[in-house]
Amino acid sequence: KVVCVTGASGYIASWLVKLLLQHGYTVKATVRDPNDPKKTEHLLTLDGAKERLHLLKADLLEEGSFDSVVDGCEGVFHTASPFYHKVTDPQAELIDPAVKGTLNVLRSCAKVQSIKRVVLTSSMVAVAFNGKPLAPDVVIDETWFSNAAVCEKSKLWYMLSKTLAEEDAWKFAKENAIDMVAINPGLVIGPFLQPTLNTSVETVLKLVNGAERFPNITYRLVDVRDVANAHILAFENPSASGRYCLVGRVMHSSEVLKILHELFPDLNLPEKCADDKPFVPIYLVSKERAESLGLNFTPVEVSLKDTVESLKEKNFLS
């Protein structure tokens, strides 16, 4: 079976490509620069890559760039989208590649008969930002949709980019009879295959190397291997549909700190969390739909341990 992964060099996509190759798929993987070894070497050395991985050049903002890539594929995993919080021009840096890029990929998919399903990598940021108050008895689930106006008012540009991209993707998929499933992960952590840092792993690095204090915030954590696995389950299970929130644990940073202390007593970690303001409330995210796919969430202790070990192994942390 032939499938396509967009943005294959990224953190989540690299794991997805690895697992797809392990499952015996032939993978057409898009990158913006196939000649940059930092983006490709870790993919080319994966088991099965020599035989079944094809690296192809494509750009989200180039009209028709994905036409020939998706041609002949049964599945398309659209993961490519910029994930940064610090931007100077949110429209050009985040919103256009996310929204126009997603529609660009879907337009290519609409032209191809062989495609059975498109799996879109959306995010919990397209689910949770709707202004509803959070509290310990609140359960966020797939019926929630972030509100673009709420994101815009608070200048949450990445959140806005993912919300608009998913909204437009559903509209286009419905109008063009594309079978689409969305995967909505929380903050993704766990070991990384690529040599560079992505934004979510960098968040952990900044906490453990002291660049940032443990802030008074709550994280929605999920392991990268679970995220990659969920993409494949969502493609392979014919009855999968709609959206799947992926959050293994909602945790306050003080709890993250406690686990890291226990796992890595040698790290120079602060004794406690940054401020004494009332804690941002813990709430829940439903696992029901994700577990119905057959997904078993990795314990957060394992994900944190493997993230820090990966950071050490790749010399981001001594």
Quick one: 266 or 287, whose CB is closer to ligand NDP? 287
| Shortest separation between residue 273's beta carbon and ligand NDP, angstroms | 21
| Shortest separation between residue 168's beta carbon and ligand NDP, angstroms | 14
CB 186 within 8 A of CB 247: yes
Q: How far apart are CA 175 and CA 206, in angstroms?
A: 43
Quick one: 185 or 273, whose CB is closer to ligand NDP? 185
Quick one: 40 or 136, whose CB is closer to ligand NDP? 40
Rounded to 10 degrees, the C-alpha dihedral 33/34/38/39 comes to 80
> What's the angle, vertex CA 188, arms to CA 184 and CA 193, rounded to 5?
120
Quick one: 214 or 244, whose CB is closer to ligand NDP? 244
Quick one: 38 or 275, whose CB is closer to ligand NDP? 38
| Shortest separation between residue 31's beta carbon and ligand NDP, angstroms | 5
The strand pair at 249-252 and 218-223 is best described as: antiparallel
Sheet holding 242-246, edge to edge: 53-57, 26-31, 2-6, 75-78, 117-121, 180-185, 242-246
| Shortest separation between residue 143's beta carbon and ligand NDP, angstroms | 19
- Give me the residues that bind ligand NDP (CB under 6 A), please: 7, 9-13, 31-32, 39, 59-61, 79-83, 97, 101, 121, 123, 162, 185, 187-188, 198, 200
Q: How far apart are CA 145 and CA 125, in angstroms?
A: 9
Quick one: 121 or 137, whose CB is closer to ligand NDP? 121
Q: How far apart are CA 167 and CA 155, in angstroms?
A: 18
Q: Which residue is nearest to ligand NDP (CB)?
A: 10
For residue 56, give the nearest of 34, 75, 26, 76 by alpha carbon.
Answer: 34
Q: Look up residue 165 and give its amino acid.
A: A
Quick one: 59 or 309, whose CB is closer to ligand NDP? 59
| Shortest separation between residue 80's beta carbon and ligand NDP, angstroms | 4
| Shortest separation between residue 178's beta carbon and ligand NDP, angstroms | 18
| Residue whose structure tokens are 């999968």 | 240
Rounded to 10 degrees, the C-alpha dihedral 188/193/197/198 comes to -40
| Shortest separation between residue 44's beta carbon and ligand NDP, angstroms | 14
For residue 243, give the nearest of 294, 156, 200, 185 by alpha carbon.
Answer: 185
